[in-house]
Structure 1
Amino acid sequence: MLTLTKALYDQIVEHSRQDHPDEACGVVAGPAGSGRPERFIPMLNAARSPTFYEFDSSDLLKLYRELDDRDEEPVIIYHSHTATEAYPSRTDISYANEPGAHYVLVSTADADDAGPFQFRSFRIVNGEVAEEEVEVVAEYS
C-alpha cells in the first residue's frame, strides 16, 4: 500500500493538471529505506509530449546525485496520462527500473480544471504490474 500526505497528493495532481495536455512527470523522495514519501520533486518532461514522458538525462543525473547526498531514494515515481486511463503502458513498464518505488499514474483524460482525476499506484518489478491501494493521510503518524 502507498501512504502519502494530502499535501503530496495535491502537488502531484496539480503538476499533472498544469502540464496538461503534455504528460507531467516527477519523483517524491524519502529517507533511504523508510518507504515514506516526503519531498516533492517535479521534473521537466523532456519529450514535451501528450503521449510520452522522458526525464532529461542531465536532470536525472543531478537528481540521483542529490538523492545520494541527502541519503534519500525515489519512493514515488509519477507521471500523467492525458488521453488514457491511469494504467502503465508497455513503455512505462519497460522503463520501470526502480523495483522499490511506487509508480503513480494520474489520468487527466476526463478532467476539467476541478477534476476528476484518476490517481492510481502500482508496483512494477521485472515487467510484472501489481496495483496497490492508496491511502491519503493528513500527516504521517
Structure 2
Amino acid sequence: MKQSTRCRGQYTDEPIAFGIYRCRTRYKKKHESDKEGGVKSSAFFYIHEVVYEEMIAYCRQGLPNEACGLISGPAGTDTGHTLWKLPNEAKQKNRFLLSEDTVAEALEEIRRKGDQLTGIFHSHPTKVAYPSAMDIACNPYPGVAYIIISFTDSPPDVRCFTMKDNKLQQLDIVLFRNK
C-alpha cells in the first residue's frame, strides 16, 4: 500500500476494477457518533481522483472561510465526475450559503451537460468533518453524497454522508482514475 496525502488514508495498489482504487480514510479525531452504535458505513461514493483533489484544493483556497459547491456525474449514476465550484455567499468560517438562484443556475448547467447532481461539498475550517445540526436540517437534497472537508489537521480529513429524514449514513469514498 502507498501512503496518500490526498485522502488521509491509503490507496490499495491493486485496483478494485480498471482504474478504480479504494481510498481508506482514517481519522485521528473521531466524532462521538463513531462509537459503537453510531454512524456506520456500508455504502460507497465513487469520485474521480482529479475531482477529489480539485475539491480539496478549492476548499483550501477558501480558508479561513468555508468553501462549497456541487458534484455531478453522468445521468443514471451516483459517481462524481465534475466539480462545480460555487461561491459561499455567507463568507464565514462557520457557515456556507448558496442562494436558490446560484444552485438553480448550476443545476441547469449540469442538466445541459447530460449530468445529474450526485454530491454537495463544503469545508469545515475549524471543525471536524461531520455534519452540523444545521447541515442536517438544511440539506435540500436527501440521498446525494454530502462531503465535508475538515482542515483541523494536515492533511485534511474528508468524510462523506447521505442524509435522509434527519438520519446519517456514512459512505466510504472510492477514488477512480478512468473516465
Q: Does 1:61 align with 2:104?
A: yes
Structure 2 counterpart of 1:79 = 122
Q: CA deviation at 1:56?
A: 2.8
Instruction: Please state which structure has a larger fraction of its residues in helix.
Output: 1
Counterpart of 1:136 in structure 2: which amino acid?
Answer: L
d(CA) in 2 for partners of 1:139, 1:125: 30
- Structure 2: any 5+ residue segments left out of the alignment? 1-43
- Say what the alpha-carbon RMSD is for the aligned residues: 1.4
Kindly report which structure 2 residues correspond to 1:96-135, keeping only aligned pairs within 5 A, or say none.
96-110=139-153, 115-135=154-174
Match of 1:26 among 36, 46, 69: 69
Asked whether the equivalents of residues 16 and 108 of structure 1 are also in contact (C-alpha less than 8 Å), the reply is no
User: Hey, which bits of structure 1, 4+ residues long, moved more than 3 A?
Assistant: none
Amino acid at match of 1:118: D
Quick one: distance in 2 between partners of 1:103 and 1:59? 18
**TM-score normalised by structure 1 residue count:** 0.89
Distance 1:68 1:37 in 2: 14
Residue 152 of structure 2: SS of its match in structure 1?
coil
Q: Give the distance between the partners of 1:57 and 1:88, measured in 2 at CA.
A: 21
Q: 1:9-28: per-residue Cα shift (whole Å, max 9, x none)?
A: 10110011100110010011
Does the aligned pair in 1 maintain the 2:46–2:78 contact within 8 Å?
A: no
Tell me the matched-pair count: 136
Partner SS, residue 79 of structure 2: coil
Instruction: Output the CA distance in 1 between the equivalents of 2:140 and 2:165.
Output: 8
Cα-to-partner distance string for 1:69-120 (whole Å, 9 max, x where unaligned): 333221110000011100000000012121231000000123xxxx310011
Larger Rg: 2
Aligned to 1:8: 51
